[in-house]
Amino acid sequence: MKPLFLVALLLAAPAAFAQTGPAETAAVKATITTFFTGMRQGDSTMVRGTLAPGVVLQTITTKEGTTRVGLENPNEFLQAVGTPHKEVYDERIRFERVLVDANLASVWTPYRFYVGPKFSHCGYNSFQLVKLAAGWRIVHVIDTRRQDGCR
């Protein structure tokens, strides 16, 4: 009986550590939703509260057939969000895919970005989040940006 118990224990172990239930998925989505609510409201403190220490912000762009990966300084991003501006920065996302395992989440969101009522660009965001003592925090965002082929 002892070998059977060990097999059962080994098979159950991954399930004990994986946190892929609806509550974790909802918490991950809430962090990303708060990030974009902060952007819309021009509230850099709200946005900062969703970010992990050492967060990395990147953008993939293609111009004249050349693809580039840009790195954005998180402090400059937060300053841009928090500096009063006439138009609302409105990134409209859809949660297409949310994957969670233990303290890691990966989220795929198509988006359309508006500056006030004017369409600016679209693309996809890929978020990586980590669950810290304070909750789910964004540790990496990489996105595509384009003006054509937006749905």
Q: Say whether pLDDT at 17 is over 70.
A: no
pLDDT of residue 121: 95
Tokens representing 75? 């402090």
pLDDT of residue 2: 53
Q: What is the mean pLDDT of residues 29-47?
A: 98
Q: Do the beta carbons of residue 136 and residue 27 sit within 8 Å?
A: yes
Could you tell me the pLDDT band of residue 82, with boundaries at 50, 70 and 90?
A: very high
- Give percent of the chain above pLDDT 90: 79
3-class SS string, 12-72: HHHHHHCCCCHHHHHHHHHHHHHHHHHHHHCCHHHHHCCEEEEEEEEEEEEECCEEEEEEE
Does 20 or 58 have the greater pLDDT score?
58
Could you tell me the pLDDT band of residue 11, with boundaries at 50, 70 and 90?
A: very low
